[in-house]
Amino acid sequence: MRKTKMLFVLLALLVAAGGILSAQTFKNVTVIKNSFDDGKVGGWAHRGHPGSEEKLIIDTAVKKVGSASLKITNRTKTWHGPIHLLTDNAVAGDVYAFSGWIYYNQGPENQAFTFSVERSFKDPNEAHKYANILSFQAKKGEWTQIKGEYTVGADPTQKNIWVYFELPYKADDLVTDNDKIDFWVDEIEFIKLDPALKPKVQLDIPNLGDTLYDWFSIGTAVNPDEVDPSQQKAQLIMKHFNALVAGNAHKMDAIQPQEGKFEWRDADRIVEFGMLTGMRVRWHSLQWHQQAPAWLMQDPKDPNKRVSKDLLNQRLKTHIQTIVKRYKGQVESYDVVNEVLSDKGGFRTAAEGSLWYDILGKEFIFNSFKWAREADPYAQLVINDYNLESDKRKRQDMYNLVKEMLAAKVPVDAVGIQMHISNTAPSVAEIKETIDLFASLGVQVVITEMDMSIYASANDAKRTPTANDLLVQAQRYKDIFAVYKAAAEKGQLDLVMIWGPSDDTSWLNDFPVRGRTDAPLLFDTRFQAKPAFWAIVDPSKVKGLR
C-alpha cells in the first residue's frame, strides 16, 4: 500500500513557495497594542449581531497591570467576545506573534478559551471563513497569559483578517450559564515579524522518510493551514514525511456540524495535499465519542432526549459511508472506531463520556466496519485506542475484541496503537509485546499517534527541556524505532505516524497541565532537527547515545 513519493512535484512546490519568502526584510512591526489604561477600547469591537450584542467596557477595578482592562459582558453566545482587525491586506506567509492576558471569576474552576481568526475575501459575496488558532485553559480568579504565532495562509482571494477571543463553540440551544461568563483581557499585543526571523526548514539534512523507507512509511498529523505549500511548515512535512493524517479536520464535528450538511473544504485540502505529493493518507476518525456534534445523540423532536437506537444507527451509517465513498481510492486507511474501550475494563459507557455503547451496544463497532467495507472494499480499516502499550488489562480487552470481530467476519484489518508515551514509560519490552500480541491475530499494527512527553506525569513542573531531557528522549526514540524496524521485517507493521510535525503545535502544549509546554516531537519550535531525529536517522550525531 506504500506509494512512491512524487519528488518532482515536491521540488516544483518548493520552487513555487520560495517566491513567498523573499529577501525583503524589515523590523518587527507592532500592529495591535492595548493596555486600556487610556480608557479607550483601542479598535476592539463586539461580535454579536444587533439586538444581541455583548458589551465591551473599560474596567478599572480588574486589571493585570496598569490602571484598567477590557471587560466583555452581557454575553449570550459562546462566540461572543472582542474582535479586532489584524490586517486589511492579507499577505501569504506573514507571521504575527501575539501575547496577552485573560481573566474570569465566574463559573467553573477551569475554563477553556479560544483565540480565532475571521477572514473575508475580495469577492464580497463569498462567505467569511473562521478558524480556531489556539485553545488554552484559564483558572478562575487568576490572570492567564496567552502566547503564540499566526501565519497567514496562501489564499490569493483573501482580503481582511480579524482576530478574536471566544469560548469553545456550542450550538445556541446548548449554551449554559458557564458559557456566558464575563471575562477580561489586558496587555494585548500583535507583532508582525521580520521575515528574517521566521523559522526555516533545514534542507541540508537527510530526509526522514527516505531513511526509513526500507522498513515503513513515516507520517505526521497536520491541520489545514500546515498543508499550504507556500509555508515553511508544509515544506518541513514534504521533506521528511510520506504519510499524513488530519489532527482534527476529519473528526465528526468538523465534517458534519449539522445533520446532513457536510463541510468538505478543510478535509479536501488535506487529502488533496496527500494526493499531490504522493503521500499515504489516513483518516482520523469516522467514529469517536469526543468531538462529535451534539445533534448526533439528540432526538430530532426534543434535544433534551436521547436519540433512538434506529436513528443513531442510521446517522452513523450515513456519516461513515458518505465520507468513505467520497474518498474511495484516495484515503487508504481509516480509524473506523476510536477509543471504544473503557479505562476501567470493558467498553466505554456514559460514565466515561460516551453514549455509543449505552444506546447501541457493541454492535455499533461491528456495523461501523461493515459499513466502511461496503463503501470501499480496499481501504485498511483500523480500530484505534490509547494506552494499549502500557495497560495490560486494556491491551487484553482489545485483543479479545479483535479476536471476536475476526471470528464474526467483521472486516477489521489493523489495530491502531496511539503511542502517546513519555521519556520514562512504557518500557521498550512492553511496546514489543503489544505489537507481537496483536500481530498474532493475523492483523496489521499501525502506530497512529506517536509522541513522547519530556514529563513523567502531570505533577511535573513546567521547564525548558534540558540537554538530558533531549538525550533521554533521543535514546527512547532510537530504541523504540528499532522495535518498529524488527516488526516491519516480520510483516507486522508498515506505517508509523508522529502526532505533529514540530513541537510548536503539539497538543501536549497546555495539556494536561495548563500553561505547561512540552517538546515531544522530532523537530523543535523553529523546525530544527532535535537529537531524537538524529537518533533515528544517524545515531552517531548524538553524543551519549547507547
pLDDT of residue 200: 86
Higher pLDDT, 21 or 217: 217
pLDDT of residue 299 exceeding 70, the answer is: yes
- Residue 312 shares a structural domain with residue 350: yes
- Residue 344 shares a structural domain with residue 449: yes
Asked if the structure places residue 19 within a domain, the reply is no
Clarify whether 204 is annotated catalytic.
no
Strands (E), 60-109: 69-73, 82-87, 95-103
Domain boundary among 154, 170, 197: 197
Mean pLDDT of 146-174: 88
- Residue 185 shares a structural domain with residue 215: no
- Residue 112 shares a structural domain with residue 236: no
Domain that holds residue 139: 29-197
Q: Out of 182, 339, 389, 524, which one is annotated catalytic?
A: 339
What are the pLDDT digits (tens) for 256-278? Answer: 999 999 999 999 999 999 999 99
Clarify whether 436 is annotated catalytic.
no
Asked if the structure places residue 339 within a domain, the reply is yes
Nearest residue to 519 via CA among 421, 451, 457 = 451
- Out of 87-91, 307-311, 366-370, pick the least confident: 87-91
Cα Dmax for the chain: 72
User: What's the predicted TM-score (pTM) here?
Assistant: 0.75
Q: Out of 94, 332, 449, 524, which one is annotated catalytic?
A: 449
Asked if the structure places residue 244 within a domain, the reply is yes
Number of domains comprising the chain:
2
Q: What CATH number should be reported for the domain holding residue 65?
A: 2.60.120.260
- Residue 295 shares a structural domain with residue 341: yes
- Residue 355 shares a structural domain with residue 496: yes
> What secondary structure letter does DSSP report for 388?
T
Q: How far is CA 378 from the centre of its chain?
A: 27
- Residue 297 shares a structural domain with residue 352: yes
Asked if the structure places residue 520 within a domain, the reply is yes
- Residue 190 shares a structural domain with residue 220: no
- Residue 243 shares a structural domain with residue 127: no
> What secondary structure letter does DSSP report for 456?
S
> What secondary structure letter does DSSP report for 498?
E
Higher pLDDT, 425 or 151: 425
pLDDT of residue 212 exceeding 50, the answer is: yes
- Residue 99 shares a structural domain with residue 223: no
Q: Are strands 45-46 and 82-87 parallel, antiparallel or unpaired?
A: antiparallel
Asked if the structure places residue 21 within a domain, the reply is no
Domain boundary among 177, 197, 217: 197
Q: Out of 385, 451, 494, 518, which one is annotated catalytic?
A: 385
Clarify whether 489 is annotated catalytic.
no
Count CB-CB contacts under 10 A for residue 92: 18
Q: What CATH number should be reported for the domain holding residue 275?
A: 3.20.20.80
Q: In Å, how far are 104, 250, 257, 529 from 73, measured between CA atoms?
A: 11, 34, 27, 45
- Residue 193 shares a structural domain with residue 215: no
Domain boundary among 143, 177, 197: 197
What are the pLDDT digits (tens) for 69-112? Answer: 999 999 999 999 999 999 999 888 888 989 999 999 999 998 98
Asked if the structure places residue 516 within a domain, the reply is yes
- Residue 273 shares a structural domain with residue 180: no
Mean pLDDT of 7-14: 40
